[in-house]
Every structure is written in structure tokens, then in C-alpha cells.
A and B are shown apart, each in its own frame.
Chain A
Amino acid sequence: MRVPVMLTSSRTDGAEPPAAVSATGLRKSYGDKLVLDGIDLRIPAGSIFALLGPNGAGKTTVVKILSTLVSPDPASGAIHIGGHDLAAEPQAVRGAIGVTGQFSAVDGLITGEENMLLMADLHHLSKREGKRVTAELLERFDLVEAAKKPASTYSGGMKRRLDIAMTLVGAPRIIFLDEPTTGLDPRSRHNMWQIIRELVTDGVTVFLTTQYLEEADELADRIAVLNDGRIAAEGTAEELKRLVPGGHVRLRFADPAAYRLAADALREATGDDYGLTLHIPSDGGQRELRSILDWLDSLDIEADELSVHTPDLDDVFFALTGGTGVPETSEETVR
């Protein structure tokens, strides 16, 4: 069986698929505040791309520029969306994209169905076609019951679903989703992920921003980490994880005496005295695990829990964005 990592990374050695979105040297400042400091992007058609970054990193600004909402600084390089030059043919770009912003882009004063029909009219669908598409999308996004109610009465998850349904009315080939799951409960979040996955099966390109590492890991073919207006790293989730060390075996003890004994015997391990846990750097391979177990047996130490941690995007994120928080400790303090 081939490892999925190889599948995604082997894509580059064939002929490159055409780029749905490409930008070079994207810059934007508001007054003397530099928000984007030269960003290069290339997103192959039919893939999911995640722009990952902390609050205030400039994610929304990137989406606003690529979706023609605000203009980039004149010093920026060329931007192409769906084969159209953003500066020269903004209307052609608008015809190719669909945007769901961070803040719900629905008309709260009218019903969900009226919102959908409004989109159908603006996409110049015939009356009948508009009704058909509306009914189909309301059904698909589980909004049939709420269709006749004003959108302002919808829950957060429903508004987000209506928002995406409205974006899909024009059957856009490139969809921008700015933090599509921020503020949603876990169930709605998983529903949204399912929706996003379904989008790409039709060959649509998805550009999403998120501050959730799990989300990028879950959905995206490629991830770029945006920090302080620059791309700190870009690649598949696997490639990014390889950038940082962070794999370890974690031993947790119930008995403080056993913990002390193990900590004293094992110098290379880092310990958390309060939580009675030891972290031993390791790639998590069978051989290393066995040697750890043998070593514990030889000292007659019994750990209450043993777990293997591969580096996750949290580790990458903190390493790249220079965050000070160490994930392990936060995990312990929660308990």
C-alpha cells in the first residue's frame, strides 16, 4: 500500500495542473501598517488550499484582495484568478469566483429562500432555473424547513450553510471560504467539512482560511502558514510536520516515587513534575518503543499510561509563528 504522503507530493513531478489562483509579491498596507509583505501563492485547480495563521496575520486581507473586494498595493506582482488578470479584468474574475466571508454575507431581513432567489436573479438565471437551483441547494444544505423564515433568526451554523448555499448558486469554479467554521459547534463544524470535501469532488478549487490546525490538516491538499504578513512555510500537512522535531513518547505515572525514579534514570527525557509525565524524544518506531519498554522493565518501573506523539501541526504552528505556548503543558493544565 502506498502512503498518502507520497501520492500528494508525487504530483509535482508530472505536468503541473493549471493554477486556479496565482499571485506573486502580494503586498498590502493600511496607512503605515504593513499587513501583507510580499506573498506568493500558486493553487492548482481542483485542490483545497488552506491559509493558516493566527488572528491578525492577514488571512482575511488575502481573501479580500483575491476576491476583488479591496485592491492590492501597486507594488504587488501579477494576480491571476481562474486565468483572468485581477487588475485588468475584475468582472471576469468575479464571474469565476464565489466568496463566503468571515461574517455572514446573507440578507438578514429577508427569508433564506428569498436570499437564494436574489442570488439566482443576480446570476441572471431564468425564473424556473432559479427556483430549481434554490430548491436543490436548500435541500442539500438542510435548510428546507427554515426556508420561509427571516435569515436573521437562523443559528450560526444555519447562517453559514445558507451563506455557502448562496455562494454556490452561480456554480463558481473557485470558492473562497474565510474561516468557514469559526464560531461553529463541533457538529456544525464536521458538517461544514463534509460540505467542503464535496465541493472539490466536482472539480471546484477551494481557498480556505482557518486558525484551526486540525481543520487545515483534515481538509487541505496544501497548507501555507501565514505569519506577520509573510508565508512562513508552505507544503502538504506531512511536509510541514517534517519541518519540526516534536515526536515523543509520553509516560504518565500515578505514583510520584515511580515518576521520580524514572526521571532520575532517564536524563534525556523532559519531565513535568506536576503532572507526573515524562516526554522521551522518539520517532515512535517499533524498535524504539520496545527499548523503552525493556528499559522500564529492567528498572521495574511501571508507567500507568504510555502514548506515542507524532509531531502535529500544532508543533509546526508554534515553531513557525514563534508562539511561546507549548501544547503539552496546556494539555496538562486543562485537567
Chain B
Amino acid sequence: MTEDQVQQIVIDIIDEIAPDEDTTGLKPEVNLRDQMDLDSMDFLDIVMELRKQHGIEVPEEDYPELASLKSCSDYLTPKFNAK
């Protein structure tokens, strides 16, 4: 799986848990929180959906790795490819 595909997976999850946010044109390097109205409860949901939909576990201490789309793909791509 490529980094782009992993970023798309994260975008799809955000579309699902926060349907009122506009996810078009998100900048990969910029923190998601600075581009959308997401709070810690929303990040908990991103983690929940990664587990439910893709069997990917993100331990609590790694939540900061999900700050931007780029950091998400850096962190998650190896996990997807190790499956």
C-alpha cells in the first residue's frame, strides 16, 4: 500500500466520523486540527475506525503520530504493509 492510499483511508474515515467537515484540499504537511474542527474525541474515533475497519492498532502514546496526513501515512503505512 502506498502513502497516498493510506492518506485516502484516513480522509475517508474523517468523512465518516465528521461529515460536516470539508476534507477536499487538505494540506498533508499541516496539522489536521489547524485545517478542520477536530478535537481529541474525534481522534479517538479515527483510532477506533482504524481498528474496526482495518485491524490497525494505535496505542494511546502514539496518538500524536496522527497529527497531519503526512505523519499519519509515515506512521501507518508500515503497519498496513506489515499485515
- A and B interact physically: no
| Residues of chain A at the chain B interface (Cβ within 8 Å) | none
| Residues of chain B at the chain A interface (Cβ within 8 Å) | none
